[in-house]
Every structure is written in structure tokens, then in C-alpha cells.
Amino acid sequence: MKIFKNQKTLKQYISTLNNRTIGFVPTMGALHNGHLSLVKKAKEETDIVICSIFVNPTQFNESSDFDNYPITHQKDISILENADCDVLYLPSNVEDVYLNEVDFSVDLGLLADVMEGEKRPGHFDGVMRVVKLLFEITTPNKAFFGLKDFQQYSVIRKMVKDLKMEIDIVGCEIIREQNGLAMSSRNALLSDNEKIDALVLSDVLKYLQKNCRVGDIRSFLVEGMNELFKVGTPEYLIVAEAETLKPVITLVKDVKYRAFVVSKIGNVRLIDNVEIFI
């Protein structure tokens, strides 16, 4: 695996690839099997896989969240080597990523006003800023995103469409622990007891998946929130249209839905979602 610490030498290397297709997997490190599933998918669908590890300061609303984000570079490098990743972009500083930034604007509409957009103002502006720059640095044909961050996936798709970027955005299914907990870099910050408590997120989503059918679903959302409050501090539990992310309380036929949950377990903010089958 080739490792590049600055975008100049990475771009020089990419210029030698002779039109081979590039798959890109952006990460913030602290890698787990969820990330590896993205690398595997990229290996299957493209010729060269580039992964990035960069903890982006512009997408954090709380400085403490940024400061506490786990940094495990040596372990991550070993994991990527074992996964047969071809290239790692590990910028030596923030300035290298933002070196050639040009202002742009994307109207996210409802995507910026619900769930994470509402709870974390400016978050998706920071996400779009860094992902656009990483796309410009790595020039991928396809980019791979985990659907655990479904709203982020939706935002990136909107950005790519609006800016007419010729990149295929591939959504990859959520990878879970055997007990159902969605894999996340933040899981490493949980104590053993908190990891058990965190199962409430996936349990509540399974409950909604099992019970939500055509009609009013408010009672199921109330019951789910009650369960979340028993072990954590929930921020929201929402069922939304999968295409627009418009929250709903009544389900109708022939519309795709997803259920979304965010809750703090101890001091760790966790997110998860599932598809709702009507």
C-alpha cells in the first residue's frame, strides 16, 4: 500500500494510473469491519482503491467531540494493508486538504433541516466542504459510503448531482456486531456496560421495523422513545421517507421509509437506522 502525506504527490501518482478506475473510501480512521466492507466493495468494483484518513474539524459542532475522536493511525495502516487497499491519503495537516478550496453552494433543502441537520447546525456544510475537496484530490470514478450515516449519504448524492460531478456514489449496507450493534468508531469510547446499554438503539429499530405498517405509527414511536430513555439520552426517533427524509407519522403504500435514531449512551453519541418494509 502506498501512503501519501500530501495531495501534491498523491495527484502525481494518480496521473500515472493510465485511466484505471478509481474507488475512493473516505474515513476518519479508527477503522473497523464496517470500513473494511467499503474497501472490499471498492476492490470488487474498481481497479485502484484509495482510502483517506482525516478527522475533519469543520464538521464537528463541539470541540470536545473533535478532541476526543479516537486516533489510531498505526493500527489503521495495518488494517488497510491486510485489506489489500492500494493507496492511503493520510494528510500531515489540515491545511493540505483545504489547500485549493473554492467556495461553492448547494441547496440541501429539507436535508439540512431535519435530524442531523437540525441537531448539528452547519455539520453538513463541513461534510460537503471536505468531501468535495477529497473528491478533487483523489478523482474517483466511484466513492463508497456506509448507510449507517444515511443522511450524510443523501447529502453527498445531492452535492454530486447539483455540482455535476461525474462520480458514482455507492451506498453500502450497515455492518453490525453479532448482537446487532451498528459498528462505529465511537463504540471504542463505550465502557463494557455502556456497550450493552447501546443495544437499545438497534432493538428499538427492530421493534419499529416489525410493527410499523400502513397507517398511524405514533404509538410505536412513543414506545420506542420510552425504551431509549431507560438507558440513555435520546435526541430523536423518527420514521422518514427514504428519498426526501421528510419525517412522517402516517405510512402509505408504495413509499420507501427508514427509521432513524440518535441517542447518547453515557457521553457517547450514537446513530443508527433501518429500512421499514411496508
Which residues are tagged catalytic?
Answer: 35
Q: Which three cell numbers, joined as nine digits, stand for 146? A: 456506509
Residues 149 and 65: their CA atoms lie apart, in Å, by 17
What are the CA-CA distances from residue 251 to residues 4, 212, 238, 260, 271 (Å)? Answer: 49, 8, 12, 15, 23
Which of helix, strand or coil describes residue 150?
Answer: helix
Residues 14 and 139: their CA atoms lie apart, in Å, by 8
> Kind of pairing, strands 215-216 and 87-89?
unpaired
Torsion sign over Cα 275, 160, 114, 146: positive
Residues 79 and 84: their CA atoms lie apart, in Å, by 9
